[in-house]
């Protein structure tokens, strides 16, 4: 799957987010190896050093671990750790503006949970 790059964040951060999403969505399962740096670089058409920086972020966050001579593997509990990080980011960055909009529109919880239009 090809990443659509944006201009707001460095490529290595976007690549980190892409790999994290694959782990959260269990496309890459816990205990499974990550694709190699060369594979990712070739697939995404980016410099291998950029890929290495993204993977290092995953290592720093204890999402993946290096197994000498074998490669990088997703750690046990990685998906839960990433989900917790995403929840925290959502509640800190996105939820306040969503909440203000809900209040502005006068929507109730019941209206938000309905399947049909209000």
Q: Kindly report, residue by residue over 20-39, the tens digit of the pLDDT.
A: 999 999 999 999 999 999 99
- Measure the CA–CA gap between 27 and 118, rounded to whole angstroms: 36
DSSP β-bridge partners for residue 113: none
- Measure the CA–CA gap between 67 and 85, rounded to whole angstroms: 25
| Buried-exposed string 12-36: b where 16+ CB fall within 10 A, e elsewhere | bebbbbbbbebbbeeebeeeeebbe
Check residue 115 and give its pLDDT: 63
Quick count: other Cβ atoms within 10 Å of Cβ 7? 4
Per-residue pLDDT tens for 53-106?
999 999 999 999 999 999 999 999 999 999 999 999 999 999 999 999 999 999
Check residue 117 and give its pLDDT: 58
Domains and CATH numbers, the chain: 11-78 (1.10.10.10)
């Amino acid at each position: 799957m090809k990443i659509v790059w944006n201009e707001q964040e460095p490529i290595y951060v976007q690549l980190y987010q892409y790999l994290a999403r694959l782990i959260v969505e269990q496309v890459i399962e816990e205990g499974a190896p990550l694709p190699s740096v060369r594979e990712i670089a070739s697939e995404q058409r980016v410099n291998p050093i950029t890929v290495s920086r993204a993977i290092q972020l995953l290592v720093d966050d204890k999402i993946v671990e290096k197994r000498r001579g074998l490669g990088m593997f997703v750690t046990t509990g990685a998906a839960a750790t990433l989900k917790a990080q995403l929840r925290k980011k959502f509640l800190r960055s996105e939820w306040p503006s969503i909440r203000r909009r809900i209040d502005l529109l006068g929507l109730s919880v019941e209206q938000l949970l309905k399947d049909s239009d209000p």
